[in-house]
Amino acid sequence: MKAKLALENGTILTGEAFGAAGETSGEVVFNTSLAGYQEIFTDPSYTGQIVTLTYPLIGNYGVNTDDVESTKPQIAGVIVREYFDYHSNYRARESLGAWLTRNNIVAVQGLDTRMITRMLRTFGSMRGVLSTADFDDASLLHKVQLSPEMVGLDLTHVVSCKAPYKWSDVDRTPFLLRPLNEGETNGRRFRVVAYDCGIKQNIMRRLTSYGCDVTVVPALFPADEIEKMDPDGIFVSNGPGDPAAVKTAIENLKKLIGKKPIFGICLGHQLLALAFGANTFKLKFGHRGGNHPVKNLLTQKIEITSQNHGFAVDPETLDKQTLEVTHINLNDGTNEGFRHKDLPVFSVQYHPEASPGPHDSDYLFSYFIEMMKSGEPMTAA
């Protein structure tokens, strides 16, 4: 079955469909990871995006029931160079194409993903329409112009849970990441409330493995209700869309700062920065992949990190009297983390729960535990 991709700059490309029949629109972005397409496709941070995978062969290890970051695929569509339907892996339960079809995700193969990626790097991420039904170029380009811009778009309500719940997935903690034993936590369990702005399941697995009992709440859950729960710490998750548009969450964080230790990741990092009065901006083509080098300014060490974000914090707008930049991206110098100098609050732009380094950034969960133990600001020790 034929499929067509129309981009905002007028580019029209024709390929072969391998997912669901139909039509989809969204922001066209690229991810440079060599593996992990199932984790990428189920990451809620990709909501509203058509993902171009730069690795040339996709699908060879199929899809399993374990490597998911949410209950379903979250992407708007998929673009690959070559799809391989005959999967081979002992954990696989079905092919990628069958899984995408079953979940109504439109996908196309046979496009020049190198050319698309170079175009996105040159002109920036752009809107697109992917269709197996409409092959009229003018019609497709018109639909592109009607699709929403990512700037100003709050998507947390699409991906967030509808009511609080307790996370109970202890048995699925990845075997490569050793859970702490009771001696290392002095037998204490830490009660953490996690704001779900599009939270990845592996974040909750890591918190659990570090001795946390996690209660997940919706992105717009009121601050006074969090205070009534009296947690040891508050976690603010990743998620999709423009952070500046999530105004209610920002106001809630303003009320919670100084009340409890807070740790933010990705969108959570941006929301905390906005709560402190800083600004965010849209990156030209974003950071999406598993090989982004980040420098920890506190330890002078380099971490290989997993990233997925289209917006960033403007470090020049962080209050230098109270906040300190802790991490920077070595590719483009953008902000990757900050901490409060006097309060137990810190955040990072990348994903320490992922394992591309393989575990370069997992220490950040230890920092969070230490903050909950002491109530003191994060240190490099």
**How many CA atoms, within 13 angstroms, populate the side-chain half-sphere of residue 47?**
23
69, 303, 324, 353: the active-site residue: 353
82 in active site? no
Instruction: Read off the DSSP letter of residue 181.
Output: P
Q: In sequence order, which residues have a C-beta less than 8 Å from that of residue 134 and are 6 or more positions away?
A: 4, 23, 140, 143
Rg (CA), the chain: 21
Q: In sequence order, which residues have a C-beta less than 8 Å from that of residue 146 and are 6 or more positions away?
A: none
Cα distance between residue 35 and residue 102, in whole Å: 22
Is cis: bond before 358, omega within 30 of 0?
A: yes
| Two tokens, residue 337 | 């983390």
Cα distance between residue 91 and residue 61, in whole Å: 9
269 in active site? no
Residue 184, CA distances (Å) to 112, 157, 173, 234 in order: 51, 37, 18, 21
184 in active site? no
| Two tokens, residue 209 | 């493995």
Cα distance between residue 69 and residue 91, in whole Å: 17
Strand order in the sheet with 323-329: 165-166, 212-218, 190-196, 233-236, 262-265, 345-348, 335-340, 323-329, 280-296, 301-313
266, 287, 292, 327: the active-site residue: 266
**Long-range contacts for 173-176 (Cβ within 8 Å, ≥24 apart)?**
173/205, 173/206, 173/208, 173/209, 174/202, 174/205, 174/355, 176/355, 176/358, 176/359
Question: Where in the sequence numbering do the catalytic residues fall?
Answer: 266, 351, 353
